[in-house]
Amino acid sequence: MSGFDFNLSRRGLLKSGVALAGTAAIGGGLAPRPARAADTTLRVLLAGDPFYYAIEGLKDQFQQETGIKLAIEAISLEALQARLTSSFISNEPDADVISVDQMWLGQYLESKWIHPLNELIKADSDVNVEDYIPEVLYSMNTWRGQVGTLPVAAYGQMVLYRKDFVEKAGISVPEDGSWSWEQYLAAIQKMNGQDFDGHKMSGTVLAGQQPAPVVHMYSQLAASMGTRWFKDFPAGTPWDFQPTINSPENLAALKIFSELYKNAPAESVGYNWFDAGMRFAKGDVGMFYWWTPYAYLCKKDGYMSGKDSVVADKLGMARLPKGPGEQVVSLGGHSLGITANTANRDAAWQFVKWATSAKTQKAMGLYDKYGHQFSDFARKSLYSDPELLKIYPHLTAQLGDLERGNGKIVRPPCPVYTTLEGIYGLNLNKVLTGQLTPEACLSETSTFFETILKGNFLIPYQQASYDDTLDATKALLKSLA
Amino acid sequence: MEGSESATGRWLGIAAMVLLLLVFIGPIVWFILLAIRPAETYFAMPPVLSFTPNWESIRYTFFDPGNNAPQLGNSLIVAIGAVALNLPFSFPAAYALSRYKIRGRKHIMLWYLGLLMAPPVAFLIPYSVLASMAGVKGTYFSMILISQTLTIPFSVWLMRSFIDEVPIEIEEAARIDGAGTTTILLKFILPMVMPGLIVTSMFAFVFSWNNAAFPLVLANRSTTTLPVGTLQYFGTAGVTWGFIASAAVAAMIPPMLIFLVLDRYVVRGLTFGSVKG
Amino acid sequence: MSAVSIAAPSRARRRLPDYTPWLLISPSILLLLALIAFPLLFALKNSFYFWNLQMGPAPMGFIGLDNYRMALSNGMFLGSLWTTLQMTLVGTAIEFCLGLAIALLLLRRLPGIKLTRVLLIMPTTIAPIVVGFLFRYMYDPNGGLIPWLLTSAGIPLPAAGLLGSPSTALWAVLFADIWQWTPFFAIVLYAALLAVPGEIVEAARVDGVSPWKQLLYVKLPLIRKTALIIVMLRFMQIFNTFDLVVVLTKGGPGTASRTLGYSLYQAGLVDFNIGLSSAMTWMMVIIVNAIIGLFVFFAFKDWD
């Protein structure tokens, strides 16, 4: 029997037990107490995108200006979702300012989880609300005539290409976006498989991972080609959520998308947002379109590494190709909201105002601890700022795309969006792996959409509708200025 | 089998052993190196083995701004709290299940074991609701309490195996002298199984320490634990691999040390006392 | 040394009052019952309600069995159940066989074998979420160690990569689990084999039984109980896998690596459909209990 012949080791064990207890005591001293309501420490919960590193780096400025201390926490999307669900079921968000996804804005406002900002903006003379890009506020921050959040990072989508390779392949990329998706595809097909700079080049790269990355990428192409998700939403009254994705426009778009995949590294079927970006930064991809942060992220060889990538000085940016109709660009990014039950509403508003102001946004763009890693300004004036243009020469084109932006058409913030995205993403991913034909994907997805929308009582829609248009947002901004 | 080995067999054995270490320890070393690598060598092809250590990741995660330093303390508080709370529940139960031949003993033991096999993901949302209904959401206590679904069953099993080894004669003598069950438990059994109690506690500590699912939904920013803290560096725009590795390596060290210290009890701990090793 | 001590000293005495053991056991059982009953009842109730946080913060009405119907109708649940069972069966089998082979190696007298044994257990001590990150790093499509090693060794990789190809994604996820838990099998089986009485093995050897048959017909039956308990534990743990899938593949490509645990995670913590995820919880709890029941009925019948 083992067991009782270990008096010697017993002492050792006891010792290590004591040592552990000792560390616990020290650890206990280190652990901060939860902030009390009376503290002027503001708790900010953000998604860990590049803008967070800039804000974290500049937070001392805010503290100096206002005397309010910041405790900023950045977490991954997965953790943010889990944290927010559990916080909101119990109606106890553990932060004063939170990052609110545009898809969830309506839900947060209607459940009174966040505080609407209309009155705060109106009462404050130095918000300068007219300097915001209206398309951004429309897409990301307004719901049923209320401003719920303010944008801290506004992403559009653009084409990124490797200049020296595109030149060598004899392709001219129109910076102003005067080309069609078919021409874009043809250029990629021409580049694919060529030898260049010691690489066997891929024409393009996709973000094929389900659910969100592939939907974020594909929905841009689809919307640009004229696809709409629903019969009448968000504009139009009454809202009608009858799915319209099984359409000829969407089929044409999906066929282009699966052609693009044939000219992309096969692994990109599993690529998420940054996998696609980092692949491009490695130098063996000719051209792709993606969220605008990749304009600076791709110049670095790793996330927040501070080191230049091989394409850093060869990166070209152009506006997106067009479909047959009017151009529609996907808008996304990050917005700040104030939790409804915060005890520090004034301080929270100070922070939201500070983080989204032109002055701070510019400082974020100039912050270069990890190299210059932020140019997704929500303020129109910064896109013509000479100092910023020197660092981010693509800003003019970026503003051009943002002003064609309509996030509510590309990914409509309908109440069950996340569930729909899950199914759409799964089936798009299956098209890339060859498990579904484009035709089958669209008809199956459409059927699923209908089942889910009916199951969630959205078809037929019986609640009050709101004719959500860009013009309505512009009028709202004017009334708040 | 032993003793009559050919030289070839011996060399094959040694080769297999080296391969084992490469496969099972190599990745851990590779991950530890990641914490001190210069960023440009994270994904260098071919892999870079020699480099000047870069302490930036460790500095960022534990010192400036050092988001993970308080989490290390939180992990310790939760794990030690879980162990402390579990003992008064599991020790008497382990004693009873060891000493008394009660009806359904097998089924009680198996029920405890069954709890360890429950799908954790199914309980996350209900537990977060439960914690907020009880007004303990975000506290260390909520995590310590929910950890009991893991630590109590585990400790009952492991501790029972230690109590089984205590000779019953001592108790019988005490009982004849008129000692009650409480006295026997605290004055006679407890000192005898103290080593077992420590072994059990240390394994229960590891169980609780490594659990990331419950703190994910129960903790708030100031009480969150280290394994969950690694998640913050896995963003949508990129992954700061050095930061993840630095935080993760810190989370790896205490369980590894405990397993090294408890070497001869590892098998016993991992099989909840059913295999003594 | 004895391998299994499920059999407690059979010296319990009749003359002790009956209720004492129950007094000692009941606090732990009551606490655990309370902790386990709440989630189960919460899920049971809400599985009959329409409660989707995307639609509203509170339950919006009784809808009978619609959540169950929804879970079963789109084939997701049954599909991921099948994926999960495949992964679980293959994973447990590989971990057991590989662990047994390593255990046999550890039993040999080789220089450095003790140190090897001590170090070998390290993967098992790591938090599963950290193992997820470790493998995410090593599988990275843009310069991870594993694709590089395999390509350098001349092993052809699927064009879409290990995590990107429908034929390999599930197994690549499983590989991370195998890496973490094979040492567990190895160390436990090693300890159990060490406890097999030498005389029995010697007798078999003298009778001319080949080493292979010694293992199969003499040693394994002797460590049967140990083997069963760890097989059951691992079987259930692999069955419940979701964290590795979240970090490595998000269930893709297609549904190739969508486990039951991940489906539940997506319904509850991504789609925030509390009603649907509650229904799935109950179906999963029933399946888990059925499997445990089968184990107990067939494998642990003869426990005392």
Encode pLDDT of C245-273 as tens digits: 999 999 989 899 999 999 999 998 888 88
By the 8 A CB rule, do B226 and B71 touch? Answer: yes
Give the minimum alpha-carbon distance from C297 to chain A in angstroms, rounded to a whole number. 30
Interface of A with B in 123-142 (CB under 8 A): none
Q: Count how many residues are written for chain C.
A: 304
Q: Which residues in chain A have their CB less than 8 angstroms from residue C8's CB?
A: none
Strand-pair partners of A100: A335
How far apart CA B274 and CA C147 sit, in angstroms, is 40
Encode pLDDT of B150-209 as tens digits: 999 999 999 998 998 888 888 888 888 888 888 888 888 888 899 899 999 998 999 899
> What pLDDT score does C304 carry?
56
How far apart CA A366 and CA A360 sit, in angstroms, is 10
Does the distance separating the beta carbons of C253 and A457 come in below 8 Å?
Answer: no
Give the minimum alpha-carbon distance from C63 to chain A in angstroms, rounded to a whole number. 10
Q: Is C301 on the interface with B (CB under 8 A)?
A: no
How far apart CA B123 and CA A49 sit, in angstroms, is 30
How far apart CA B146 and CA B89 sit, in angstroms, is 14
The position carrying tokens 């009873």 is: B96
Q: Which residues in chain A have their CB less than 8 angstroms from residue B73's CB?
A: 26-31
Q: Is A449 on the interface with C (CB under 8 A)?
A: no
Give the minimum alpha-carbon distance from A111 to chain C in angstroms, rounded to a whole number. 6
Encode pLDDT of C197-248 as tens digits: 888 888 888 888 888 888 888 888 888 888 888 898 899 999 999 989 999 9
Give the minimum alpha-carbon distance from B64 to chain C in angstroms, rounded to a whole number. 23
Interface of A with C in 381-410 (CB under 8 A): none
Give the Å distances, CA to CA, from B194 to A58, B172, B203, B225, C29.
Answer: 53, 20, 14, 29, 23
Element holding A288 (H helix, E strand): strand A287-291
Interface of A with C in 105-124 (CB under 8 A): 107, 110-111, 113
For A175, residues 6+ apart whose C-beta sits below 8 A from its C-beta are: A317, A318, A319, A397
ipTM at complex level: 0.91
Element holding C232 (H helix, E strand): helix C224-239
- DSSP code at position A175: T
Q: Is A280 on the interface with C (CB under 8 A)?
A: no
Q: Do the strands A315-318 and A41-47 form a parallel or antiparallel pair, or are they unpaired?
A: unpaired
Give the Å distances, CA to CA, from A115 to A35, A120, A238, B181, C228.
Answer: 20, 10, 27, 59, 56
pLDDT tens track of chain A, all 481 residues?
333 333 333 333 334 333 333 333 333 333 333 444 345 789 999 888 889 999 999 999 999 999 999 988 888 776 776 777 677 777 677 789 999 889 889 988 988 889 999 999 999 988 999 999 999 999 999 999 999 999 999 999 999 999 999 999 999 999 889 999 999 999 999 999 999 988 899 999 999 998 899 999 999 999 999 999 999 999 888 999 999 999 999 999 999 999 999 999 999 999 999 999 999 999 999 999 999 999 999 998 888 877 899 999 999 999 999 999 999 999 999 999 999 988 899 999 999 999 999 999 999 999 998 889 999 999 999 999 999 999 999 999 999 999 999 999 999 999 889 999 999 999 999 999 999 999 999 999 999 999 999 988 899 998 889 999 999 999 999 999 8
Q: Helix C66-73 crosses helix C274-299 at what angle (to 10 degrees)?
A: 80
**Which among C126, A82, C173 is positioned nearest to B214, based on CA atoms?**
A82
How far apart CA A189 and CA A203 sit, in angstroms, is 6
Q: Is B222 on the interface with A (CB under 8 A)?
A: yes
Choose the closest CB to C12 out of B42, B101, B129.
B101
Q: Is B186 on the interface with A (CB under 8 A)?
A: no
The sheet carrying A287-291 orders its strands as A287-291, A157-162, A315-318
Element holding C124 (H helix, E strand): helix C122-125
Distance between start and end Cα atoms, chain B: 20
Q: What is the mean pLDDT of residues B117-133?
A: 87
Choose the closest CB to B266 out of C11, C140, C187.
C187
Give the minimum alpha-carbon distance from C108 to chain B in angstroms, rounded to a whole number. 6
DSSP assignment of B30-88: HHHHHHTS-GGGTT-SSPP------THHHHHHHTSS-THHHHHHHHHHHHHHHHHHHHH
Whether residue C148 is predicted with pLDDT greater than 70 in this model: the reply is yes
Q: Is C100 on the interface with A (CB under 8 A)?
A: no
Whether residue B1 is predicted with pLDDT greater than 60 in this model: the reply is no
Residues above pLDDT 90, as percent of chain B = 44
Calculate the CA dihedral of residues A90, A96, A101, A106 and round it to 10 degrees.
60
The mean pLDDT of chain B is 89
Q: Which domains does chain A have, with CATH numbers?
A: 41-155+332-399+470-480 (3.40.190.10), 157-328+416-455 (3.40.190.10)
Q: Quick one: closest CA in C to B149, which residue? A: C32
Does the distance separating the beta carbons of A1 and C2 come in below 8 Å?
Answer: yes
Give the Å distances, CA to CA, from C282 to A311, B119, B274, C277.
Answer: 52, 11, 30, 9
Chains A, B: CB contacts within 8 A come to 177
Chains that touch B (3 or more CB pairs under 8 A): A, C
- DSSP code at position B135: T
User: Could you tell me the two tokens for C28?
Assistant: 């732990």
Element holding C115 (H helix, E strand): helix C113-120
Burial status of residue C60 (CB atoms within 10 A of its CB: 0-12, 13-18, 19 or more): middle
A99 three-class SS? strand
By the 8 A CB rule, do A298 and A290 touch? Answer: no
Q: What is the CATH number of domain C42-52+62-125+166-299?
A: 1.10.3720.10
> What pLDDT score does B245 carry?
95
By the 8 A CB rule, do C160 and B240 touch? Answer: no
B69-228 folds as MetI-like fold (1.10.3720)
Choose the closest CB to A75 out of B42, B201, B232.
B232
Q: Count how many residues are written for chain A.
A: 481
Q: Is B235 on the interface with A (CB under 8 A)?
A: yes
Determine which of A49, A94, A310 to mutate to test the interface with B (most B C-beta atoms within 10 Å). Answer: A94
By the 8 A CB rule, do C126 and C180 touch? Answer: yes
pLDDT band at C45 (very low <50, low <70, confident <90, very high): very high
Q: Which residues in chain B have their CB less than 8 angstroms from residue A24's CB?
A: 76-77, 80
Chains that touch A (3 or more CB pairs under 8 A): B, C
Rg (Cα) of chain C, in Å, rounded? Answer: 24
Give the minimum alpha-carbon distance from B18 to chain C in angstroms, rounded to a whole number. 9
